[in-house]
Amino acid sequence: MNSPTRLSLSKRYAILGVFAMLVWQAAWQGWLAPPVTVPVAVAVFLAVAPMLPAALLAVFRRPSAVFWAGVASLLYFSHAITELRAAPALWPLALVELGLSLWIIFTGNWDGLQAKLFKRNRPDQA
């Protein structure tokens, strides 16, 4: 049996963001601004569904959890921008979603960004 790899600090922050997004979506759709056209349980399920695969992978300590969290965060990012534009009364809720989605995207990719942006010039490189 393969032992799970240890995640970097930035990837652990991304996983923290995954669970924060799940809690935020459940609170938004279930309590803070429940929908009037569909049952609340359906709205909560649809709101958390994109992040569930990443959360399950994180529970089982799979490194691919961060990748799938980033993919799902793009959906949440788009939803937040749409809500900011379409429902101005809900802008504080949408801003939290926007911040969480950006948090997951940037922390999940920080190791690669850091390697690319802050690489040192080594004498053996041409």
Tens digits of residue pLDDT in 18-42: 999 999 999 999 999 999 999 999 9
90 contacts 33 by C-beta, under 8 angstroms: yes
Per-residue model confidence (pLDDT) at position 1: 47
pLDDT class of 119 with cuts at 50, 70, 90: confident
Measure Cα distances from 68 to 54, 81, 85, 86 in Å: 5, 20, 26, 27
How far is the C-alpha of 60 from the C-alpha of 45, rounded, in Å?
21
Q: What is the mean pLDDT of the chain?
A: 92
Is the confidence at residue 6, as pLDDT, over 60? yes
Q: Which long-range contacts (CB under 8 A, 24 or more apart) does 1-6 make?
A: 4/60, 4/61, 4/62, 4/63, 5/63
